[in-house]
């Protein structure tokens, strides 16, 4: 080989060795950023769910709060992280040490995370902290594991309800302020809507486990649960009469009255925009969906109406949900304490300190947020009315349109049903297929489908309990 060429080849070889070395050091990765305490009680808290840089308004609110918190709490430094909960990557992030120390997680996933031992036990704080003691029991029940310990702090709550489009209701000659008392009323309303307007009567979610989730809520309203817990053991009870009745209700609405439209592969990302743009008159979903419907899908605030889930005579209540702030299982005690302080400060102090509440509401309204956040109040009705009075000037949600829902939640008979404790997501997935079958096949045999789903669910539930 000629000398110049040899030199060039040698240079190339050295360059690639250098490149490989760089590559390999990059691959070994940085040690976990959450090294926590840096001696002398100094705690660095990595907080997830920080708004992205593109959402300037929300980011400013976040950063102001961080500054305020750090000023009041010497020794705690807050590091914001944009990481938000994503079920597909959660486990990998926990293993890789890139999960924020504290972040929000939906209630539907809490039980499986508790089961997989990925969350820190926060019961000791519930005993000592006054703010946590004030929370509604219906809301804290969701963060308890089967052992009774508390694994998170509820930061928002909702129940499943019937979301209605008030404009379409009026077009169909229905009163958007008169709550629907029974499921027959819902069927009649759907009928009226599909006959007198261009919209379909009722949208039903059927995919991504959201179908099973809403069906569970409707079953509870008919008087049955899909999992029963007796002491330490939970058994699947999918083939109960209430679920069968709920499916029959939907089957009749779909095939006899033809009031459910034509698309039956709906999850929230498909149904939400359709509902917001007036293609459906009603939707069984979360009461807090006001926020994404108005902010992201541009529904007019006055068009949004909310009815509590109608209860049959044996009805058990409305399925509850929400978000929970959780702390990583491998966080230190100092980090956990800091996390609880931060969560209280960011989410719950507004119910304790009225001045703070008013300021916060004003800045949120100025930045285009929905004030107050629609959903189930985290605290008792009296405390919540106090809060509403304090933020009165900044309210931009037409609360009078939502009276039927809120007054129902304050009544003594309002029951909140908790999610199935064991492998809820998998069981919801089974119900998804049952729902899809009922809605796309006119001759679907509900009893046979439920029996099949029950068999599979039994296997799943018993395997999960070991």
Tokens 């491998």 belong to: 330
Establish if 94 lies at the interface with another protein (CB under 8 A): yes
Contact (Cβ atoms closer than 8 angstroms) between residue 332 and residue 118: no
The two tokens of residue 130 are 């006054």
Establish if 432 lies at the interface with another protein (CB under 8 A): yes
Angstrom distances, CA of residue 31 to CA of 27, 98, 165, 332, 338: 11, 10, 51, 17, 22
Among 149-157, 317-325, 400-408, 439-447, the segment contacting another protein (CB under 8 A): 439-447
Establish if 426 lies at the interface with another protein (CB under 8 A): yes
Start-end of H helices in 238-332: 241-251, 268-276, 290-295
Of 260 and 306, nearer to another protein (C-beta) is 260
- Residue count, binding to another protein (CB under 8 A): 52
* C-alpha 437 chain-centroid distance: 26
Of 15 and 366, nearer to another protein (C-beta) is 15
Dihedrals phi, psi of 88, to nearest 5 degrees: -75, -25
Site string for another protein, 173-212 (x = CB under 8 A): ---------------------------------xxxx---
Is residue 173 classed exposed, middle or buried when 0-12, 13-18 and 19+ CB atoms within 10 A define those classes?
Answer: exposed
Establish if 330 lies at the interface with another protein (CB under 8 A): yes
Long-range contacts for 240-243 (Cβ within 8 Å, ≥24 apart)? 242/312, 242/314, 243/215, 243/219, 243/450
Of 75 and 96, nearer to another protein (C-beta) is 96
Q: Which position among 98, 456, 462, 465 is part of the footprint of another protein (CB under 8 A)?
A: 456
Among 9-17, 45-53, 121-129, 282-290, the segment contacting another protein (CB under 8 A): 9-17
Contact (Cβ atoms closer than 8 angstroms) between residue 159 and residue 411: no
Mapped onto helix, strand or coil, the DSSP state of residue 160 is: strand
Of 86 and 230, nearer to another protein (C-beta) is 86
The two tokens of residue 194 are 């599909």
Among 260-268, 284-292, 334-342, 413-421, the segment contacting another protein (CB under 8 A): 260-268
Q: Which position among 4, 30, 88, 443 is part of the footprint of another protein (CB under 8 A)?
A: 88
Establish if 265 lies at the interface with another protein (CB under 8 A): yes
Residues that bind another protein (CB under 8 A): 1, 6, 9-10, 12-14, 16-17, 19-20, 23-24, 27, 87-88, 91-92, 94-95, 112, 116-118, 206-209, 261-265, 267, 329-330, 423, 425-426, 429, 432-434, 436-437, 439-441, 455-456, 459, 463
């Amino acid at each position: 080989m000629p000398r110049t060429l040899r030199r060039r080849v040698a240079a190339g070889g050295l360059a690639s060795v250098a490149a490989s070395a760089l590559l390999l050091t990059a691959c070994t990765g940085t040690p976990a950023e959450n090294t926590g305490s840096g001696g002398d009680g100094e705690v660095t808290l990595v907080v997830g769910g920080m708004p992205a840089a593109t959402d300037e308004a929300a980011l400013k609110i976040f950063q102001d709060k961080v500054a305020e918190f750090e000023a009041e709490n010497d020794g705690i430094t807050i590091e914001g992280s944009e990481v938000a909960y994503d079920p597909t990557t959660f486990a990998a992030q926990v293993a890789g040490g890139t999960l924020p120390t504290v972040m929000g997680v939906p209630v539907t996933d809490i039980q499986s995370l508790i089961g997989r031992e990925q969350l820190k036990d926060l019961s000791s704080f519930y005993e000592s902290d006054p703010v946590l003691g004030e929370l509604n029991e219906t809301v804290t029940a969701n963060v308890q594991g089967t052992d009774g310990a508390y694994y998170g702090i509820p930061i928002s709550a909702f129940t499943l309800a019937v979301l209605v489009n008030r404009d379409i209701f009026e077009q169909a000659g229905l009163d958007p302020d008169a709550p629907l008392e029974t499921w027959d009323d819902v069927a009649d309303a759907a009928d009226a809507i599909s006959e007198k307007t261009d919209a379909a009567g009722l949208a039903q979610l059927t995919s991504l486990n959201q179908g099973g989730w809403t069906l569970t809520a409707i079953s509870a309203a008919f008087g049955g649960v899909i999992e029963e817990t007796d002491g330490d053991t939970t058994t699947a009870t999918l083939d109960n009469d209430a679920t069968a009745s709920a499916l029959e209700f939907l089957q009749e609405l779909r095939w006899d009255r033809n009031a459910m439209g034509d698309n039956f592969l709906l999850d929230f990302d498909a149904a939400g925009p359709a509902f917001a743009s007036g293609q459906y008159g009603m939707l069984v979903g979360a009461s807090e969906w006001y926020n994404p419907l108005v902010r992201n899908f541009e529904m007019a605030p006055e068009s949004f109406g909310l009815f509590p889930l109608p209860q049959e005579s044996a009805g058990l209540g409305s399925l509850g949900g929400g978000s929970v702030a959780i702390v990583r299982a491998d966080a230190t005690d100092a980090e956990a304490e800091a996390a609880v302080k931060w969560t209280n400060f960011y989410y719950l102090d507004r119910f304790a300190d009225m001045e703070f509440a008013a300021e916060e509401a004003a800045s949120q309204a100025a930045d285009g947020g929905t004030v107050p956040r629609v959903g189930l109040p985290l605290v008792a009705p009296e405390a919540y009315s106090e809060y509403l009075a304090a933020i009165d000037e900044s309210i931009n949600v037409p609360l009078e349109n939502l009276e039927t829902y809120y007054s129902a939640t304050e009544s003594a008979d309002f029951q909140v049903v908790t999610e199935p404790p064991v492998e809820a997501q998998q069981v919801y997935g089974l119900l998804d297929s049952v729902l899809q079958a009922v809605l796309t096949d006119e001759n679907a045999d509900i009893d046979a489908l439920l029996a099949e789903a029950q068999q599979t669910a039994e296997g799943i539930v018993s395997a999960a309990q070991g």
